[in-house]
Structure formats: C-alpha cells, structure tokens
Amino acid sequence: QVQLVESGGGLVQAGGSLRLSCAASGSIFNVNTMGWYRQAPGNQRELVANITSGGRTNYADSVKGRFTISRGNVKNTVHLQMNSLKPEDTAAYYCNAFLRTRVFGPWRDYWGRGTQVSVSS
C-alpha cells in the first residue's frame, strides 16, 4: 500500500509565499514522476508542476517563474515553493506520484488527500 502525505498549505496574502511538501511511503519499487495538481471549486483538476526521477521539470504556464518544484533530500519526497502568490492560485493542492510497487508491475497514479491553499487579495 502506498500513502502520499502533503503538508504546508494555509492562508497567505497576495504576493506572499508558501512551501508545500509531499512524502510518499509504503510498498514503492520506484517512482517515475512526482508532482502537484490543484483543483478550485467548480474547476477541473489541473497540473501545476511535476518532476521526473531524472530531474526534468514541467510547469503550468500560469505558474512559470513563480513556482519551483524540487525533489527532497529524503527519498520519494517533493517540494513546491510558491512565490508571488495570487488569489487565482487559491485551490486544493494534491500531491501525485506515478510509480510501481514491484519490478515489472504496472505503473499507476497515486494521490494524496490534498492541502488547501488560500490567497487573499
């Protein structure tokens, strides 16, 4: 069984910063990609940023230049540094990991429960 646990959400004023962290644990053989998605009320869940095991990063256009994703020093952890936050960044943020739990096993997505980020104007 695999668990993803997020931390670091909260309420901040526009222009402020927050740092999200996610740790994946359990029966993990190897991880291909970890990342963050977000979902605001009435909207579909969207990719914010992800990072591959090789360190390649991918960002939504709306966060480029403001958010930075990085792998943590502890295995299977990922961080999202969010700067210059805007009210439109308000959403529930979900950690995602694309991994497999055994050699030659199927690759699949796992999700955390989400952490709320609220940005006031």
Question: pLDDT digits over 28-83, tens only?
Answer: 999 999 999 999 999 999 999 999 999 999 999 999 999 999 999 899 999 999 99
**Dihedral sign of CA atoms 34, 12, 64, 71 in order:** negative
Mean pLDDT of 81-86: 98
Which pLDDT band, with edges at 50, 70 and 90, does 21 fall under? very high
Predicted pLDDT at 15: 98
